[in-house]
């Protein structure tokens, strides 16, 4: 598997998402910009399918006891965060996704958006903004502030 694919696949995976992909990219020798870009792209890949297929998948899987328990726990876990997200709408979901901690990424954001009945376009934009912010935070933590500032300056000055 190529190194690019390793980073993208890692950022697609729940729990790891870009929190795991950016440090992996750093370890594989990618620049901060490359790591950020690959992780953000990979992290956004599952968002639309989750928002579209979450309801039919949970209904179908609920016919099986093991799957029903899994989705019940997933719903329960995401319901705990729903009041804060619901209170602030678009910005609440973006901030929830932006916090680079376990259970707060794009996967959970998409599930919460579905559970709250948010319009898909608004939810997607909110999740995307959150992923962009989380990527910046993880990139700074991984590569250091100096590397990140130099990267931004090169973009602005070119």
Tens of pLDDT, residue by residue over 11-43, are 999 889 999 999 999 999 999 999 999 999 999
CB 77 within 8 A of CB 65: no
Averaged over 6-12, what is the pLDDT?
Answer: 96
* pLDDT value of position 57: 82
* pLDDT value of position 51: 87
Count the residues in the chain: 158
CB 65 within 8 A of CB 97: no
Averaged over 131-145, what is the pLDDT?
Answer: 93
CA distances from 119 to 5, 77, 110, 112 (A): 31, 21, 11, 12
Between 149 and 14, name the one with better pLDDT. 14
DSSP letter at 99 equals S
Cα 52 from Cα 54, distance rounded (Å) = 6
**Residue 136 CB partners (closer than 8 Å, separation 6+):** 36, 148
Residue 151 in this model has a pLDDT that exceeds 80: no
* pLDDT value of position 15: 87
CA atoms within 13 A on the CB side of 20: 16
Tens of pLDDT, residue by residue over 59-115, are 888 888 888 888 787 777 767 767 777 788 899 999 999 998 888 899 989 988 888
Phi, psi of 64 (to 5 degrees): -110, 125
- Give 13-72 as a DSSP string: STTTHHHHHHHHHHHTT--HHHHHHHHHHHHHTTHHHHHHHHHHHHHHHTTSHHHHHHHH
* pLDDT value of position 38: 97
The predicted model scores a pTM of 0.82
């Amino acid at each position: 598997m190529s190194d690019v694919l390793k980073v993208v696949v890692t950022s697609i995976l729940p729990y790891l998402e870009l929190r795991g992909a950016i440090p992996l990219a750093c370890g594989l020798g990618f620049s901060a910009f490359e790591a950020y870009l690959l992780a953000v792209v990979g992290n956004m890949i599952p968002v639309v399918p989750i928002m579209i297929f979450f309801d039919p998948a949970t209904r179908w899987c609920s016919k099986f006891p093991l799957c029903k328990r899994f989705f019940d726990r997933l719903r329960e876990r995401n319901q705990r965060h729903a009041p804060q997200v619901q209170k602030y709408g678009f910005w609440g979901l973006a901030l929830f996704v932006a916090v680079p901690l376990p259970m707060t990424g794009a996967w959970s954001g998409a599930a919460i958006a579905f559970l709250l009945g948010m319009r898909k376009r608004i939810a997607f934009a909110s999740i995307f903004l959150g992923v962009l912010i989380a990527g910046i935070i993880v990139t700074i933590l991984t590569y250091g502030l100096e590397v990140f500032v130099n990267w931004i300056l090169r973009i602005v000055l070119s």
